[in-house]
Amino acid sequence: MGDNRLAELAMVHSEIMACTKCDLHKSRKNAVPGEGPIGAKIMFVGEGPGQNEDEQGRPFVGAAGKLLTELLGSIGVSRSDVFITNIVKCRPPNNRAPRKAEIEACNPYMMSQIRLVKPRIVCPLGTPAIATVLGEESSATRAHGKPQTKGNVTILPMYHPAAALYDASLKEVLASDFNVLKDLLKDPSPPREPVLEDGREMRRETLEKWV
């Protein structure tokens, strides 16, 4: 079973690397599927690859990634134990925000990652990721630090570490939201199968949004 999930995740990541479903494929150097172990308790979802990520094909390898790694360290978690990805897997040109059509085209990949990794907690980072995971009315300002449950998975929205890089007060908020994450990790109950909101299992062919 674990092996099947690993093989299936590898297939999803190969698909992403060859994907042409939206225009972002035209300007990317490398698609950035994401990385981390199957069965990771935590999945972080950022906005999209930046220049460093596009060049290296890996998520959160620049300054925001360094802060993310530090924040994880502050609650005793190693970066190699978490799964890290983005709502779009290819870099938007000049770091513009990803467009709705691009986010929608890419969404099935994130849903497959959630279904296969089965994280206990998903942390969308910043408003575009939060709105993608929780719905368009959600924002970092309103939702950060408050865990909610969706499709059997705990969602803990947070500010984007890039926003906190040059804003000490946001960095404090982010650090205190990481302490909420630390408390959530103490829950001893086994992880549950991610499902769609109406209770149906998520399947590979499920292209619906997770609503």
Q: Which residues bind to ligand SF4, rule: CB under 6 A?
A: 16, 19-22, 24-25, 31, 88-90, 102, 105-106
Which residues neighbour 27 within 8 Å (Cβ) at sequence distance 6 or greater? 90, 91, 93
DSSP annotation of 190: P
End-to-end CA distance of the chain: 27
Cβ-count burial of 158 within 10 angstroms (0-12 exposed, 13-18 middle, 19+ buried)?
buried
> What minimum distance in Å lies between the beta carbon of 117 and ligand SF4?
17
85 contacts which partner out of ligand SF4, ligand URA, none, CB within 5 to 8 A by kind?
none
Residue 59 or 108 with smaller CB distance to ligand URA: 59
Residue 194 interacts with ligand URA (CB under 6 A): yes or no:
no
- Closest by alpha carbon to 126, among 116, 138, 140? 140
177 contacts which partner out of ligand URA, ligand SF4, none, CB within 5 to 8 A by kind?
none
Q: 3-class DSSP state for residue 26?
A: helix
The pair of three-digit structure tokens given for residue 2, joined into one six-digit string: 């674990």
Residue from 13, 31, 53, 156 in contact with ligand URA (CB under 6 A): 53
Residue 158 interacts with ligand URA (CB under 6 A): yes or no:
no
49 contacts which partner out of ligand URA, ligand SF4, none, CB within 5 to 8 A by kind?
ligand URA
Residue from 64, 77, 122, 202 in contact with ligand URA (CB under 6 A): 64
22 contacts which partner out of ligand SF4, ligand URA, none, CB within 5 to 8 A by kind?
ligand SF4
Residue 7 or 207 with smaller CB distance to ligand SF4: 207
- Closest by alpha carbon to 84, among 48, 54, 135, 136? 48
